[in-house]
Chains A and B, each alone.
Chain A
Amino acid sequence: MARTLTDEQGVKRYLVNLKVNGDNHTVMVKGNSLLVNVLRDELDLTGTKKGCELGDCGSCTVLLDGKPVNSCLVLAVEAEGREITTIEGVAQNDKLDKLQESFVNNAAIQCGYCTPGMVLSAKALLTRNPHPTETEVREAISGNLCRCTGYVNIVKAVMAAAEQE
């Protein structure tokens, strides 16, 4: 359990270690601080988007120990000790992951606001299941809403990335 400190207004603050994309960060958060806000506001990892704040759209998807979750419904204090992957952690040394490359090459991006969450949901799927069926791909991204693409090219991109395995 995190160490605490009470501020002048009597609000308790928690010292939390967050391991994000392999980097360790120590941050002070309030009990009610949400992971999405800490990532965006404290760590400037704004690739994690806010869309609905209620777990309906998937824009704020991050991987927690490899599994996609909505970071708008996760308390920052509860993320301590977990491996957090955000979209910024997917490309390595400025080299796109094959899934990201596939999104670019298959015109799977339009406004791009859902893209980080989509990529992470798909990434988790391909890690678990390198050769998914189209239905499995659709299931894996069905918690990520996209208003631009009708998902057509997103599904195509994920399937194409899987074929390269």
Chain B
Amino acid sequence: MSQEYAVIGKSVPRKDGWDKVTGKAKYTGDLKFPNMLVGKILTSPHAHARILSIDTSEAEKLPGVKAVITHEDVPSLKYGISPARWDENIFCIDKVRFVGDKVAAVAALDEETVYKALKLIKVEYETLPAVFDPFEAMREDAPLVQEEYPRNINTEIHQNFGDVDKAMAEAYYVRTDRFKGQRTYQSPIEPHSAISIWDKDKLTIYSSTQSPHYFQYYIAREFGLPMGNVRVLKTHIGGGFGGKLEPTGLEFAGAVLSKLTGRPVRMFYDREDMFAHNRGRHAQFMELTTGVDKDGKILAVHANFVMDGGAYTSLGVASAYYAGALLTIPYEFDNYKFDMYRVNTNLPACGAQRGHGHPQPRFAFESHLDNIAKELGIDPVEIRLRNARKSNTTTPNEFKVETCALTEALEKARDLSGWREKKGKLPSGRGIGIGVGSFVSGAGYPIYRTDLPQASAVIKVNEDGSEATLYSGSVDIGQGSDTVLCQMAAEAMGYVYEKMRIVSADTELAPHDFGAYASRQTLMSGAAVKQAGEEIKTQLLAIAAPALGVRAEELDCREGIIFVKANPEINRTFGEAAREFFVKKGPLVGRGVYHVPKLGGKFKGAAVGTSPAYSFAAQVAEVEIDEETGEVKIAEVWDVHDCGKVINPALLHAQVHGAFYMGMGESVWEQVLFDAKGKIINANLAEYRLPTALDMPRLHSDLVDTVEPNGPWGVKEVGEGATTPVMGCISNAITDAIGVRIDSLPLSYEKVWRASKERKRNTSGE
């Protein structure tokens, strides 16, 4: 079997490894252009205020300042994810809606001057009553964050599948639990930056972006330019995790500043700006009611959720739908009801963070399911095995799942972790827990309404056949897509990985692709790349055949050698044949395109959660709790994934490590905190605590094999799915250790301390 493929399935080193390890790799903020200025955005100090006046005259007088702009200098067209919810302006016009809302911008010769100039802009505000709690925001008398959303309800969802009431009535046991999530932030280590160069009728923007295409679309729309006149590209990007998926004010403001000054302008966020801009994970308030039969088989689920969306829609309408849509994936049940209110508040807007909308509901559900299992006296692994989804099934909300090895993953995680020997037998202060997760391998519908294909790719073989270049609009944000797609291209072409080059994430040089979000690239971009590679191979075999005295169908090509299948001794090189092709027919080019087949039902919101394929994971964690201080130590973790065919095992496991890491941080350590006036009080990496190397447990990443018919070579996603089980898994392990459930994230040391203390008080009182 290992010989089935020559290039994929191997842990080849990353394409960008050398550059990144030597410091040669240039990120957007490292680039320099002649005559370049530096720019920054002035943000609101108030959570809700009317702008009475803006006086930029003092700032303009500061030596080194080249331009100061406000809403009067930029288009007033609103933008956002969907036409019904275009609610954000480049700069606020009449009022500001959160601490950090965009008000003005400066371009100057250097960063120091920019900061000084921002302080000289005088904005007169009339503060307005603000609302920070989504439940208060829904009251009739609450101040309106956006005039167009009555009761501040930005998105309202009511979905009902099967007959929930009937199933609940017939259930052996019905349980309701309530859970709270928290606001978290993606916290990529690279701060956002964008360099805009407006040269005559052409606007070029280098940006730290996860989707050059999405940026190009909105930037062109704002400025009334044909998309072809806007080029968006990236160099290296220092992590995104969802936080760099939508254009920030940096691109828009930078473009205008560049146009006004006729010079390139590098706009940047500092760490505090990043937190203020945010677009991190929504805090969700989750009520779950589930009815089960006496064996713990789930009969019906009702998810009744509210999410704090912050001041704008951002990508949040999708987050809201995802929150409920994906709850149906890992376990099989027929009756499902989902109610959701996404509510605007005077806090930074929330958006898509790794696992988009799903990790908190998954935390809630995994915790809830453990509560049910405990009540019924069923082992947590066992209740999951009884409910685990199988291949070739359809969810109540009409998602078709062709491959699912959750059962095998659960069994493997159970066995690897020594679950049977540990559960209920660990010494005091230690606990073990399980959680499952799943995710889409690419969203079934594009990020905005369009008939464009999901992905496309071009491969061009060098004139002398010595190298080939893959052109793909896909975006390597660190996950390694450039590497994986080059492996896929080489496999499809019958070529070698080392001779593959890639030009990606450039709207001008690379063909269209929606970019890095929704865990879509290995499957979707990969499908286009595979097709392009196969087209190369077909053309090459045709040209190579006469010289070998056979018909093209009798040939194959592998690792750069074209050979007669029946007699591999008869062969010639890929390079030589490629050169012959160029001499006789011109450039050897292969093209590929990927459209998602029509997926999903017809109900409102049916599109969100559709995907060609779903990943599955089972995760077990063992924790050690210091009950006197509440300190949590995650001791050891086992993740078993069903992610289809693996293209690069080393990169795949690295995705699991990182996805677990983020989920672990959100479980115990991370939370964006605000003061009473809506200002973030921990907008830094000292008090917003990403775990350090000393906090990480031993982490085992393992796999169960599936081959997904809807993915090229059978691939599915891994990068986001591995975040989804973590919080539930750790919650269940902590509960096992301290004997009591904490229902709100993060499961901080202080909460664990308090819960342990209360439990002791209660048990000693009995």
Q: Interface residues, chain A, CB within 8 Å of chain B? A: 9, 32, 37, 40, 44-54, 56-57, 59, 86-88, 90-91, 96, 100, 103-107, 109-116, 119, 135, 137-139, 141-155
Contact = CB atoms under 8 A, between A and B. Distances in A.
Contacts of B26: 46
Interface of B: 11, 13-14, 16-27, 29-30, 32, 63, 111-112, 186-191, 236-239, 241, 270-271, 477-480, 650-651, 653-654, 657-658, 660-662, 664, 684-686, 690, 692-694, 696, 699
A151 B686 contact: no
A148 B651 CA distance: 11
A119 B693 contact: no
B658 A47 contact: no
Q: Point out which of B32, B650, B654, B693 has the most chain A C-beta atoms below 10 A from its C-beta.
A: B693
Q: Which 8 A-B pairs have the closest CB atoms?
A: A47-B23, A111-B478, A113-B238, A112-B20, A150-B661, A87-B23, A46-B30, A56-B685
B654 A111 contact: no
Given A104-B18, A110-B654, A147-B658, A152 B699 contact: yes
A149 B22 contact: no
Contacts, number: 170
B23 A149 contact: no
21 contacts: A37-B111, A47-B24, A49-B189, A51-B191, A53-B270, A56-B685, A87-B22, A107-B14, A107-B653, A110-B478, A110-B658, A111-B237, A111-B477, A113-B478, A115-B20, A138-B696, A146-B189, A147-B239, A147-B661, A150-B658, A150-B661
Contact of A147 (B21, B25, B662): B662
B699 A110 contact: no
A153 B694 CA distance: 14
Contacts of A110: 239, 478-480, 654, 658
Contact of A115 (B21, B112, B653): B21
Given A88-B23, A104-B21, A138-B693, A114 B189 contact: yes
Nearest to B19: A112
Given A51-B271, A145-B685, A111 B189 contact: yes
Nearest to A112: B20
Contacts of A37: 111
Contacts of B14: 104, 107, 109
Given A46-B26, A111-B237, A147-B188, A9 B63 contact: yes
Contacts of A107: 11, 13-14, 650-651, 653-654
A57 B27 contact: no
A104 B17 contact: yes
Contact of B271 (A53, A86, A147): A53
A135 B32 CA distance: 40
Given A56-B686, A141-B693, A152-B657, A112 B236 contact: yes
Contacts of A151: 661, 692-693, 696
A138 B20 CA distance: 21
Nearest to B649: A107
Contacts of A45: 23
Contacts of B13: 104-105, 107
Contact of A40 (B21, B30, B191, B657): B30
A90 B17 CA distance: 15
